[in-house]
Copies of this chain bind each other. A is one copy, B any other.
Amino acid sequence: VKTEMKKIAVLGCPFDSTSSYRSGSRFAPAVIRNTLREVEDYSPHLDGDLRDIDYCDEGDVVFVNNDKEQALDLIKKTVRGILSENKMPLVLGGEHLITLPVVQAVREKYKDIKVLYLDAHCDLRDEYLGVKLSHATVARRLLDFISPGSLFQFGIRSGEREEFRFARKHGILYDFSRKKLDGVLKKIGKPPLHISIDLDILNPAIFPGTGVPDPGGISFDEFIEFIKGLKKAGIVAMDIVELSPPCDHTESSSFLAATVMREMLILAGRRKK
């Protein structure tokens, strides 16, 4: 696959209807865009500047929150359209379930896609409260059409015993560290990559604004160090999910989410001509 840098197309997916505890991630795309304007364009972490990056904003997918199938279908179609224009989608959730239609569309184009899955939670249940399509099952649903060897979960710290057993059995789990990432990248070579960033992988100290603030988690510095390892990996699609603005009283979670978006744009985007 060719992995030249592409123009990035930002797409908002304000979907949160399978949230089982505190919902609200439907408000994230609007808040992240708004906060991005308050964040500096320049990243001292990556020594890059948003003003140099070639990206556009395709707005939000419009759907009915409680018609799940329709919503997921619309997301898939919209991402498919972005890919058909040879752009790289950066999808803003919404809850983690939106990763499913995104990866489905991505895989239509990139058959050998590998998925880096950054998350606090396994999301490997086969069903959750009797439901197959849920934020708690999304990683498992990915395995319906990609092999376990194509899924790499980093930073997991919460889940059922059965999920951990399943993940360990299939060798999906990795500690969150640059070193582990480097090892993975070395092993798999340079296939097209999708990176899915569930922001709750970050410590609730710096990211309290999410539905389920599980103790533990990584620091912002660890996150930056990790993504530096992806500079020359062949990222072809990205998503950033699970900011819940109503849970973010101090706006520090929104600033973090917007900063993560800036870093990913600078990391994966091509320079303007």
* B66, B206, B252: the one within 8 Å of A17 (CB): B66
Q: Which residues of B contact A203 (CB under 8 A)?
A: 205-206, 220
Q: Decide yes or no whether A85 CB sits under 8 A from chain B.
A: no
**In the complex, residue of chain B having the shortest beta-carbon distance to the beta carbon of A257:** B215
Max chain B C-beta neighbours (<10 A), residue from A158, A251, A256, A259: A251
When chains A and B are docked, how far (Å) is the Cα of A255 from the Cα of B42?
A: 32
Q: Which residues of B contact A251 (CB under 8 A)?
A: 22, 213, 247
Interface set, chain A 160-212, CB cutoff 8 A to B: 160-161, 164, 203-206, 208-209, 212
Q: Which residues of B contact A205 (CB under 8 A)?
A: 203, 205-206, 252
* A40 and B159 contact, CB distance less than 8 A: yes
* A67 and B161 contact, CB distance less than 8 A: no
Q: Decide yes or no whether A58 CB sits under 8 A from chain B.
A: no
* A64 and B206 contact, CB distance less than 8 A: no
Nearest CB of B to A266, in Å: 11
Q: Decide yes or no whether A126 CB sits under 8 A from chain B.
A: no
Q: Decide yes or no whether A148 CB sits under 8 A from chain B.
A: no
Nearest CB of B to A8, in Å: 20
* B161, B250, B255: the one within 8 Å of A214 (CB): B255
> What is A's interface to B at a CB cutoff of 8 Å?
17-24, 30, 34, 38-42, 44-45, 49, 63-68, 70, 128-131, 134, 156-161, 164, 203-206, 208-209, 212-216, 220-221, 224, 246-252, 255-256, 259
8 A-B contact pairs sorted by A residue (CB < 8 Å) = A22-B246, A40-B160, A42-B164, A45-B216, A209-B250, A213-B250, A214-B259, A246-B246
Knowing that A203-B220, A213-B255 touch, tell me 19 more A-B residue pairs with CB under 8 angstroms. A22-B251, A39-B214, A40-B158, A41-B161, A42-B160, A44-B158, A44-B164, A45-B216, A64-B130, A66-B66, A66-B131, A204-B250, A205-B205, A205-B206, A205-B252, A209-B250, A213-B251, A215-B252, A216-B220
